[in-house]
Each structure stands twice: as structure tokens, then as C-alpha cells.
């Protein structure tokens, strides 16, 4: 508290202005699709979710206790971002800093994504906050390691990992900068506290067959390497996160030496993250927000450099003001689309299309095929009308694949919305050109959790070898085989579906007519012949009640 009272009043004036701006922005800007998805997380609190750990859901749940609507999703993001600015200020030791408060705020506000995560509620929001908590605690820990500081450090390490799996990079590179910690008993105490605190999520992963880890490591969509899209795009992102100030941002980094353990940790963290994602860019497209974590240590390094270099101080302030004007204009455009000259972003028109569909279908539950984005957005803007994302083999699994949302609409009359519908009963065209086509399905039945299990060994394409197939029915009721159709989907080396061919597996027991509840039934089949080339994988898929084939089996490599 003593440190907080030493902060000048001018600092709190700027901080209050940013906090109020973020509150106003949050209230008048519609959700983006990822926020709606994480709002859906928060409707059923758990220790983990398909794509991410649970911290983002917790923030939304807490926000909902204070407000409704969009602010009920974003309030805690506004709070954390304000506290984060204070934490960054406390990590700067230069005695001249109180004379350059406005320069500090221009530096922070001009960083594009750091600005956006001041109100958007995404996993990176708590990741940024707890990175600052972790670094500030580490700064005090290396000066005076003790049990209390160790416990606090361990708690923040766990909080980082509860925010986003990328947090492991923060912890790893900071520890790598000070290998003597291996001999420090208080460092080991911090690790122990972190592991104990993180144990509930470890258990959730175990209970859910490591679904999140498997998705991020093996099942994320990918494509053929492209220098322009992947590696060059990565370097563009390194510029985009800082806007016009980027030359001075990186010059400050290059000029800063690791003369003490804390500065060394900041440098290791920045270069480590950049190197990690540079290497990753040769395998997949690096999303801009993945590298946002470098903004935290760079604020400290750059501001310290500005205080020592008048030219940098002047130019970062000038260019930062230009960035700020552009960012404020774009933020206004997020809430009021005409400012963006007919450019439609995710924050535009969601209430309108949700209302239009509700006007058509009333309170009927809605099934969106291949859209974990539209399903929660519709539910949010229609006061919780039940929705479900039915994922077929041309899409990917998500939270709807592992939770109980399918049970909420099973056996009910539903409105079914899909781009694959030819005989639509209704449709709605969004202002940005998106088209929703729908029809009504009575007594809706889907069994997307049925698993097709094939031994994970390479199988020769177009061979006649007999393949064993185990089909597990996790439901509490039996499923008639007559309602199911089986197929094999061939995929290229990037797991993109190329051809789907029907098969008729033979049951080991010829009298088999049902898949028994919560039981495994054994079959055998042959891979269907194909003329397709460059086939890398296949998966066994099931269509129930004439729906599109699902994602029932995992990709199996083909020779």
C-alpha cells in the first residue's frame, strides 16, 4: 500500500480516464465471437474447457455478478487492465519517471493489442495481467527470497497457467534467465505451490482424456507452408502490435543490456517468445495475439530507455500520439460501424441477425452446424435460448463436443441452420453478406459423442487388409445400428478432408443390431478404394439420422 500512495495524482487521473473509456467501450460494443464462446464457458463453470484453461470463464462469471449484457462479460477485463498499468509502473525504478507520466500512458495506450485487451475478455487478458503479477513478484523474490514470496510466486505461476497454456513460455524463459534458481530452496517451494494449485486442472485433463493438449498439439487446423502467410506474416505481426512506434520499441530492446537479474529476465522473455514463435512460423500461421505477451516486458524496457534517451522519449511520444488517435477512431468504429466505411467487424450486426432468427423461430432451440461461434452468440443475444453446435467432418471439435449441450436439445423440435441445407424453410442474409439457411427438424437426434476407435498404426492405402474397428457408445441409451451410416474420410497431409466414401463395417457378432449403452461394439472393415492422391490420413465417421458425417474417429496415418 505504501508503494501505491507514492504514485502521483496525475497517474491516477490518466488511469481513471482509461478505465472509464474501457467501461464505456465495453457497454456499447457488441461481443466478438470468441467472447461469446467464452461466455458460453462461463455458463457451466469447470476446471477446464476444450480449448483453454478456465480463467477467462471465471472473469466472465465474476463480471456477470455486477452487470448484464456486454459489460457483464467485460467488466473484470477493465478492472484487470487498470491494475495491470499500476503493476507495470511499479516495476520501473527510474527516479525520473514521475516527470513523464503522460509519456508512460501514451506508450501503453499506443500498443494496439494491449489497448484492445483493456476491454475485450479473452484468455490473453488474464495472461497479460498475471504476467505482470509474476514479474513484479519475481523482482522482489530475487532481492529477498523467502517463504512468503515463494508462495506468492507459485500462486501467480499457477494463475498464469490457468489463463492460457502459452504461459509456460513466460515461466520457462524467466527461470532460464537465472539457472541458479535450481539450487534455491525457495524457488522449489514456488514450483511446488504452483503444481498443487494447478492440480485441479491436471485432474480435469486426466478425466477428459487430455482433450485440450491433444487438440493444440495434434488436431489444430493447418496448411501447407507459405513464407508470405507464415514467416513473413509473423514479422508483420511483430510490427503490428506496436504500430508506428515499432522502430524505437525494438531499438530500445537492442540497446538494453541485462545488467541485473530482473532486466535479464525481461530480455530472455522477449527474445525467447520471439524465437519460439519464429520457429513455429515454419509449421503454422502465428496469430498476432500469440506474441502479445512481449508487450509486458517491453513496456518496462522501452520506458526505461525513453527516460535515458531524449530522442526516443520525443519520438515515441509523437508517434504514440498518432497511434492513439488512430486507435481511438478504430475503437469508435467497433461500436458504430459507419465510421469504418462499410467494413464489417465481428462486433457489428450480431444483435440484429440473432433477433431476426428469433423472430422467425421463436423460442425453439437452434442447432448451428459447424459454428461454435454462432451458437453462443445467438444464445447470448436471445437471453439464453438453448443452442448446439453440430460439428461435422469438415470442421473441428470444440467445447460443444465434450459438454452436455447435445442433451439439452435431444428429442426436441429444433431449428437447424447450416450452409449445407438445400431445402431451407427460412433464411437471413447479414449486412456483411453472410447467409443463414434453416429448416425445422422434429424430434432431433444426434450422437456426436460416439467414438470410432482404430489402432493408431500406419495402414496401406488401397490394400485389402482387414481393419479392426471398435465403436464406443457413451450414452445412457442404446443406439439402433439402422439409424447409423459409416464412412471413411480421406485427408491430405494437413488433415484437410478430400473425399468421403461409405463403408459397411461387419460386426464381430452377426446378430448385433444395436450399440449398447456405455459399451464397446467390435467391427471390422476394409478401406474403400480411392483414386485420390497425396492422402495422408483417414478417419472413420458416422452419420446419424441422415445428418452430415461427424468427427467420430481420430486421424489415422496412411502409408
d(CA 552, CA 319): 53
Same domain, 304 and 186: yes
Question: Quick one: pLDDT at residue 433?
Answer: 76
- Out of 337, 364, 396, a domain closes at 337
Q: Are strands 435-441 and 414-417 parallel, antiparallel or unpaired?
A: antiparallel
- Please state the φ and ψ torsions of residue 416, each to the nearest 5 degrees: -110, 120
Same domain, 152 and 57: yes
What's the Rg (C-alpha) of the chain? 26
Asked if the structure places residue 300 within a domain, the reply is yes
Question: Quick one: pLDDT at residue 228?
Answer: 86
Query: Would you tell me how many other CB atoms lie within 10 Å of the CB of residue 246?
Result: 16
Same domain, 435 and 456: no
- Out of 285, 312, 337, a domain closes at 337
Same domain, 356 and 494: no
Asked if the structure places residue 262 within a domain, the reply is yes
- Please state the φ and ψ torsions of residue 370, each to the nearest 5 degrees: 55, 50
What is the domain range of residue 399? Answer: 350-441
Tell me the whole-structure pTM to 2 decimals. Answer: 0.94
Same domain, 183 and 232: yes
Same domain, 207 and 319: yes
Residues near 539 by Cβ (< 8 Å), separated by ≥ 6? 393, 452, 488, 489, 491, 551, 552, 553, 554, 555, 556
DSSP state of 287: P
Specify the 3-state DSSP secondary structure of 351: helix
CATH number of the domain at 482, please: 2.60.40.10
Question: Quick one: pLDDT at residue 29?
Answer: 97
**Per-position pLDDT tens, the chain of length 559:** 566 668 999 999 999 999 999 999 999 999 999 999 999 999 999 999 999 999 999 999 999 999 999 999 999 999 999 999 999 999 999 999 999 999 999 999 999 999 999 999 999 999 999 999 999 999 999 999 999 999 999 999 999 999 999 999 999 999 999 999 999 999 999 999 999 999 999 999 999 999 998 888 777 667 778 888 899 999 999 999 999 999 999 999 999 999 999 999 999 999 999 999 999 999 888 999 999 999 999 999 999 999 999 999 999 999 999 999 999 999 999 999 988 878 889 999 999 999 999 999 999 999 999 999 999 999 999 999 999 999 999 999 999 999 999 999 999 999 999 988 888 889 888 877 778 899 999 999 999 999 999 988 888 898 888 999 999 999 999 999 999 999 999 999 888 999 999 999 999 998 899 999 999 999 999 999 999 988 999 999 999 988 999 999 999 999 8
Same domain, 403 and 552: no
Same domain, 183 and 133: yes
Terminal alpha carbon distance of the chain: 64
Same domain, 499 and 552: yes
Asked if the structure places residue 344 within a domain, the reply is no
Asked if the structure places residue 47 within a domain, the reply is yes
DSSP state of 94: -
**Taking a C-beta distance cutoff of 8 angstroms, is the pair 121, 38 a contact?**
yes
Counted residue by residue, the chain has a size of 559
Question: Quick one: pLDDT at residue 183?
Answer: 95
- Out of 373, 408, 441, a domain closes at 441
Same domain, 330 and 185: yes
Asked if the structure places residue 343 within a domain, the reply is no
Give me the number of domains the chain comprises. 3
Same domain, 194 and 80: yes
Question: Quick one: pLDDT at residue 434?
Answer: 79
Asked if the structure places residue 345 within a domain, the reply is no
Asked if the structure places residue 303 within a domain, the reply is yes
Question: Quick one: pLDDT at residue 229?
Answer: 87
Same domain, 411 and 533: no
Amino acid at each position: 500500500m505504501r508503494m501505491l500512495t507514492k504514485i502521483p495524482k496525475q497517474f491516477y487521473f490518466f488511469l481513471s480516464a482509461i478505465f472509464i473509456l474501457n467501461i464505456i467501450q465495453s457497454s456499447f460494443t457488441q461481443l466478438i465471437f470468441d467472447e461469446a464462446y467464452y461466455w458460453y464457458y462461463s455458463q457451466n463453470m469447470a476446471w477446464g474447457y476444450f480449448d483453454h484453461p478456465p480463467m477467462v470463464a471465471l472473469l466472465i462469471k465474476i463480471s456477470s455478478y455486477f452487470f448484464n449484457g456486454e459489460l457483464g462479460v467485460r467488466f473484470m477485463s477493465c478492472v484487470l487492465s487498470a491494475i495491470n498499468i499500476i503493476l507495470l509502473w511499479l516495476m520501473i525504478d527510474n527516479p525520473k519517471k514521475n516527470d513523464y507520466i503522460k509519456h508512460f500512458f501514451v506508450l501503453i495506450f499506443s500498443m494496439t493489442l494491449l489497448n484492445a485487451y483493456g476491454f475485450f475478455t479473452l484468455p490473453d487478458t488474464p495472461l497479460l495481467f498475471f504476467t505482470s503479477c509474476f514479474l513484479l513478484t519475481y523482482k522482489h523474490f530475487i532481492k529477498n527470497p523467502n517463504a512468503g514470496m515463494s508462495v506468492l510466486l507459485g500462486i501467480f505461476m499457477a494463475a498464469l497457467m490457468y489463463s492460457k497454456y502459452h504461459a509456460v513460455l513466460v515461466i520457462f524463459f524467466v527461470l532460464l534467465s537465472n539457472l541458479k534458481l535450481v539450487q534455491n530452496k525457495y524457488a522449489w517451494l514456488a514450483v511446488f505451490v504452483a503444481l498443487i494449485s494447478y492440480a485441479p486442472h491436471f485432474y480435469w485433463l486426466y478425466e477428459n482424456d487430455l482433450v485440450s493438449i491433444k487438440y493444440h498439439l495434434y488436431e489444430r487446423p493447418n496448411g501447407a507452408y507459405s513464407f508470405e502467410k507464415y514467416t513473413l506474416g509473423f514479422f508483420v505481426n511483430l510490427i503490428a502490435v506496436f504500430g508506428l512506434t515499432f522502430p524505437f520499441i525494438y531499438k530500445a530492446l537492442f540497446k538494453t543490456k541485462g545488467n541485473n537479474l530482473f532486466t535479464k529476465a525481461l530480455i530472455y522473455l522477449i527474445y525467447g517468445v520471439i524465437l519460439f514463435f519464429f520457429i513455429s512460423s515454419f509449421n503454422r500461421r502465428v496469430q498476432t495475439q500469440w506474441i502479445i505477451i512481449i508487450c509486458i516486458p517491453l513496456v518496462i524496457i522501452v520506458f526505461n530507455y525513453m527516460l535515458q534517451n531524449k530522442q526516443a522519449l520525443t519520438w515515441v511520444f509523437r508517434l504514440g500520439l498518432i497511434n492513439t488517435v488512430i486507435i481511438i477512431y478504430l475503437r469508435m468504429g467497433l461500436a458504430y460501424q459507419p465510421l469504418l466505411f462499410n467494413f464489417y467487424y465481428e462486433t457489428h450486426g450480431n444483435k440484429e441477425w440473432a433477433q431476426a432468427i428469433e423472430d422467425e423461430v421463436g423460442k425453439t432451440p437452434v442447432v448451428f452446424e459447424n459454428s461454435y461461434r454462432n451458437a453462443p452468440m445467438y444464445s447470448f443475444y436471445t437471453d439464453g435460448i438453448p443452442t448446439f453446435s453440430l460439428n461435422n467432418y469438415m470442421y473441428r471439435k470444440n467445447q460443444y463436443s465434450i459438454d452436455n449441450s447435445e442433451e439439452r436439445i435431444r428429442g426436441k423440435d429444433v431449428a437447424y441452420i447450416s450452409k449445407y441445407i438445400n431445402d431451407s424453410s427460412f433464411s437471413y442474409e447479414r449486412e456483411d453478406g453472410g447467409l443463414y439457411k434453416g429448416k425445422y427438424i422434429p424430434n432431433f437426434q444426434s450422437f456426436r459423442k460416439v467414438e470410432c476407435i482404430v489402432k493408431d498404426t500406419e495402414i496401406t492405402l488401397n490394400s485389402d487388409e482387414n481393419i479392426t474397428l471398435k465403436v464406443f457408445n457413451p450414452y445412457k441409451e442404446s443406439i439402433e445400428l439402422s439409424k447409423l451410416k459409416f464412412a471413411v474420410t480421406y485427408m491430405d497431409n494437413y488433415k484437410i478432408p478430400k473425399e468421403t466414401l461409405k463403408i459397411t463395417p461387419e460386426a464381430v457378432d452377426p446378430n448385433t443390431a444395436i450399440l449398447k449403452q456405455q459399451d464397446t461394439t467390435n467391427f471390422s472393415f476394409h478401406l474403400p478404394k480411392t483414386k485420390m492422391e497425396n492422402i495422408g490420413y483417414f478417419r472413420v465417421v458416422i452419420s446419424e439420422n441422415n445428418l452430415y458425417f461427424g468427427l467420430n474417429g481420430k486421424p489415422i496415418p496412411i502409408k
